[in-house]
Amino acid sequence: MAALTDSAPDMAGGAQPGPEPARVLEALELLLGPPSEGDNAAEPGPELALCPETLRRNAAALEERLSRATGWAALRQLRAAVLSGAPALAAGAAGAEPGWAAACGLLALLLCLKERLASLAAAPAAPAAPGAPPPPGADTLSAGQERAVRRALRAAVGLGLLPHLPPGLGPGPGLGPPPGTRGARLLAAVAALVELARLPALGAPLLARHLRLLLCGLCALGHGPAALCQGVSEAERAQCREALRDILDRVYQPLAVQELLVLQGQPKQVPAGAAPAWLRRLCGHLLSERLLRPSGVQAVVRGVLEGTDGGAGAEAAALDWRKCDAIGKILAACPQQCLSLEDYYRQVCPQILDLLHIQDKVAARQFQRVATTTLLTMAREQPQLAERHLLQPLLAPLRRCSEATELALEDLTAGAVLVPEAELGTCVEDVLKVYVVGNDSSSLLLGSLQSVLGVVFSLYSFAKQNVSYLRSPCQDILLWFLEKAEREQSLAVLEGLAGLSSHVPTLHPQCQLRVGSEGGAAIVVEETISDEDEALYQKICLEQCHVESLVELLSHCQKSGLAGDFFIQCLKELTQVAAEDEAAPNPAVEPGGSLLELEQDQARQGRKLLVLQLVAALCQGVSDTVFTDIVQVQQFLAAVLQRACAHPARGPGAAAEAQTLAMAMGLVAAVLGGAVQLKSSDFAVLKQLVPLLEELSRTYPEPLTQELASDLRIAILTHGACSPGTLGTAAHGVLGRQPGTAARSPAGRAPSPPAHRDSSTEQSGCREPGASPAPRADSLAPGGLQELLVSAYDPQPPSRAAALRHLASLVTRRDPEAMRLQEKLLQVFLENVQHEDAFVYLSAIQGIALLSSEYPERILPVLLAQYERPAQGKEDTMAAVTRMKLGEVLMRVTRALGDMVFQHREPLIRAFLRGARDPDGALRASSLSNLGELCQHLGFQLGSIIQEVTCCVTAIARTDPEAEVRRAAVHVVVLLLRGLSEKVTEVLRDVLLDLYRLLKHVATAERDAATVLHAQLALEELDSAMRRVLFPPQTLEKKIVVLP
């Protein structure tokens, strides 16, 4: 085994120069003969072109050339020196077996080439000429020479190494060497190849193509049974073991892992049978050594996954994920040679976390899968070690700035960076990959994540107020935890995030988030603010921002019912805070109060304000669909009723308390009156309200509320069979209509406060279960109509809108009393059109439209007079808005009249043309829009008035200073063309050319993109119409003519 350790042979004291590499390559080609078609194969195999006679003849020719040809003396001397250092090769080259002799000759010549290239590389290089590129190294081979070297290496491995491998690693029985020579020959071949691998020029092609066979030889010699190594000493076996580790350390580690995995399994050279048991154990040991090296985890993962494309097709994707999961489970298992489980986790866990930071986009998904699977498996099998070595380092940047961490702030200056932007962004992305993508809701993971949710929420709130890429991952992390945790745990976390409890450690009070330069955020030490007012302002703004962020977060949790549960819990908290506020004395008023009591009172007041702020924000943000089932509705109602029983409406907040109670009781009445389809199980839930309603009917100071509570209790106990009339009033105030009239609002939809009106107008009565409510009479008593007219001026918008819609329904039914007071109704509707609430003025618009469609001859002149009246004084803007609302009324009337609108054509068009000249731009645009819709309805009935319309539209589209108005003018043309369709050429024949020129002008000269789009749409309509006229569709018809 001297070749594994000896230095280069002595070149006769350096008296003569060595041969050129080209001479050695010429000798190799002479020994191998001319190349054949199969010589470029990647794997060594039987040399078909080198039969024994050819090998003997080529060897003889080489010896003849070395001994007699001129210029070959240096190679002859070098070859003799190499063979003198390797007696086994010298004996084999002189032997009678052609294959082994040729292999020894090839290895000897390759060693000569290696020595010559090494000496050339050691010589000082000639300096490059100024401006010229540096010359290649002296040991650099040309492309043709590299092909010759690869061919020689393939032949040397195929003739010298492959036949001498032991059974299970080499060829089958009958193809091996003579008995007793396997070990010595294998040692000689392996020693020569290891020596060749030391030179990069020869080692690169050798290890790239023949690494597996070389490893097989080294494993057999160094670790195989003694029967396979006859003639090999223990010292030589130790050298083989050292050479094996040296080669494994020098090659590309993923390649080494791949080759060891193949050796551990069934090698390609063996057609049947698995690898020997000793080899499998050895490969497992060597793979574990690769794993425990620095960056060994990544090398093992790359070695297994290299060549996987990440999922081209379903089968490839499934194989890819199965590989990743298998690698993760392997990495989670501790190797046998590791000293302890603690040491293994200490070495491997940092490398597992590094897998999450792979920059290669193609391989990142696979590495992330492996890291996540490994981490989750370790967390299940060894939770304590996984938390110490994986989860704590993963969450360290977030825990560093948590209020649960003691910061040595005396060593830090104001503005010092605690967590840099890059580290914080990487930490958040890692948490998203492990927790959310991994999607394992074990108690260990949920508990570890809960400790940093306060910091994540602060970061989410900060990102929500700024432009940051961290908003989405932080939101996903928070929503994942709230979805996977138990409901009690989720509610406790929400309370902590809202500041109502200390279940969740939040951001340290002396830490501050700062916008990063790369779109992220950094955590720094907060600077001290000397101004107390400024500090208080910033604190209030931060709390408001947190509340808004919490409400937005809960808006994504409404389907699961979490938002409704938290809303109910806030209401209960509000009741509790109010009770504590009444029970506790006010230290500021009582002179004997201590400083501690004063601080406790301030904390209690601050908590009360926070709860009120939360309830207000939740009502505004998520209350419209906050309740998902009848259970949550019952809990909400129970919270409100319990608060009313404990604290009846008194003092300055009595009006708000009474309105809240009325809203809750109206909601119960609406639910019982048919707004929700109730089952028997739902009544069982609602029966939990009976004790509260009974107490309310006895203790509440207002008689009407007592009566309503008693009626609700009766309705619940009878499952709705007995429905007193007070329920109809309450439900009417909530839903804006009588109960049972096909109301299908969600159970949790936030109702409007009920109208406070005399309940004596409703008649009480009972009905059978499941029976529909008794229908109302077609006409109302004069007192009932007068009550509706009064309610139309109610200060509460819901009550006013409900009255207006009821009046509109009377017009639809042509109620005699309502028809007698149609002028009064018109006046009521017109006055409510000016109301700022959209629900009110839309209800008024609907009433006017219904009234006008029933009596157009009487109502339309009044509307047109109101519409054409110019605005004067300081109320120009309000008057313009009112006129636009009247324009909507006129268009609704136009649609309702249909073809009958023709007789009102001229006053309508005149009114809209006057509106198109109004100083207010919005009114001009509205008038033009109405004009276009009217022209679309009129169609061919436009007549001669089309000239006026065309002139107005053309002038405005060309000269109006506001883009919105020009846009509306062009839209008139679009509607006109769309309404006329195939009659364009008949109705617009006099103005069609003018309209076409206008549209072309707008399309080419207009700067407003929307106006240009309208013009292009009009041109397309015109083009389609002209094509239908010029090229009518041909239809095939059969005509039967009866001859006389």
> What pLDDT was estimated at residue 583?
58
Question: How do residues 1018-1041 score in pLDDT, each as one tens digit?
Answer: 888 888 878 877 777 777 777 788
**Average pLDDT over every residue of 634-649:** 75
CA distance 358 to 369: 12
Does 825 have pLDDT greater than 90?
Answer: no
- How many Cβ atoms sit within 10 Å of the Cβ of residue 854? 15
Q: How far is CA 273 from CA 227, 269, 276, 553, in A?
A: 20, 11, 9, 60
Bridge partners, 522 (sequence order): 514
pLDDT band at 456 (very low <50, low <70, confident <90, very high): very high
Q: Is the pLDDT of residue 313 over 50?
A: no
Tokens 């509109």 sit on residue: 808
Which segment of 227-231, 391-395, 481-485 scores lowest on mean pLDDT? 227-231
- Per-residue pLDDT of 962-993, as tens digits, reads 888 888 888 888 887 777 776 777 777 777 78
Angle between helices 876-897 and 856-868 (to 10 degrees): 150
For residue 434, the 8-state DSSP code is I
Q: What is the pLDDT of residue 308?
A: 52
For residue 728, the 8-state DSSP code is H
pLDDT at residue 299, rounded to an integer: 86
- Check pLDDT > 80 for residue 343: yes
CA dist list (Å): 1039 to 21, 258, 1032, 1042: 99, 84, 20, 10
- Cα 319 to Cα 309, 322, 854: the distances in Å are 10, 5, 73
Q: Are 574 and 614 within 8 A, CB to CB?
A: no
The answer, yes or no, to whether residue 243 has pLDDT greater than 80, is yes
575 vs 545 pLDDT, higher one:
545
* Token duo for residue 73: 């003396």
From the number of C-beta atoms within 10 Å of its C-beta (0-12, 13-18, 19+), residue 339 rates as exposed
Helices 392-399 + 421-431 axis angle, to 10: 130
Q: Which CB contacts under 8 angstroms, 24+ apart, belong to 139-146?
A: 139/21, 139/199, 139/201, 140/201, 141/21, 141/201, 145/21, 145/22, 145/25, 146/205
Beta strands in 361-504 (DSSP E): 417-419
Strands (E), 477-542: 511-515, 521-525
User: Got the DSSP string for 165-193?
Assistant: SPTTTS--TTSS--TT-HHHHHHHHHHHH
Confidence of residue 177 (pLDDT cuts 50, 70, 90): low
Q: Return the higher-pLDDT residue of 247 and 573.
A: 247
Q: Is 390 in contact with 349 (CB distance < 8 Å)?
A: yes
Phi, psi of 439 (to 5 degrees): 55, 50
- Quickly list DSSP for 455-484: HHHHHHHHHHHS--TTHHHHHHHHHHHHHH
* CA nearest neighbour of 844 among 892, 898, 786: 892
Percent of the chain with pLDDT over 90: 4
Distance CA 734, CA 676 (A): 13
Contact 483, 560 (CB under 8 A): yes
The pLDDT, as a whole number, for residue 741 is 34
The yes-or-no verdict on residue 470 having pLDDT over 50 is: yes
- pLDDT band at residue 475 using 50, 70 and 90 as cut-offs: very high
Q: Using an 8 Å Cβ cutoff, are 824 and 788 in contact?
A: no
For residues 184-206, give the mean pLDDT. 88
Q: Which pLDDT belongs to residue 1041?
A: 80
Q: How many CB atoms lie within 10 A of CB 541?
A: 11
Residue 306 has pLDDT above 90, yes or no: no
Mean pLDDT on 458-474? 89
pLDDT number for residue 481: 92
Of the pLDDT bands very low, low, confident and very high (cuts 50, 70, 90), residue 998 is: confident
List pLDDT tens digits, range 151-176. Answer: 888 888 888 888 888 877 765 544 56
pLDDT at 814 over 90: no
- The whole-chain average pLDDT of the chain stands at 76
Q: Are strands 511-515 and 521-525 parallel, antiparallel or unpaired?
A: antiparallel
pTM over 0.75: no
Does pLDDT of 64 surpass 70?
Answer: yes
Alpha-carbon distances, residue 838 vs 828, 834, 841 (angstroms): 16, 10, 5
Q: Quick check: 924 and 965 in contact, CB under 8 A?
A: yes
pLDDT at 458 over 50: yes
Q: For 476-518, how does the pLDDT look when each residue is reduced to its tens digit (9 = 90+)?
A: 999 999 998 898 888 888 888 888 887 788 888 888 888 888 8
Q: Are strands 511-515 and 417-419 parallel, antiparallel or unpaired?
A: unpaired
The whole-angstrom separation of Cα 825 and Cα 820 is 10
Contacts of residue 142, defined as CB under 8 A and 6 or more positions apart, other chains included, come to none
Residue 568 has pLDDT above 50, yes or no: yes
Q: pLDDT value at position 473?
A: 92
Taking only the tens place, the pLDDT of each residue in 413-454 is 777 888 999 999 999 999 999 999 888 888 888 889 988 999
Average pLDDT over residues 48-64: 74
Strand order in the sheet with 417-419: 417-419, 521-525, 511-515
Q: What is the mean pLDDT of residues 519-542?
A: 80
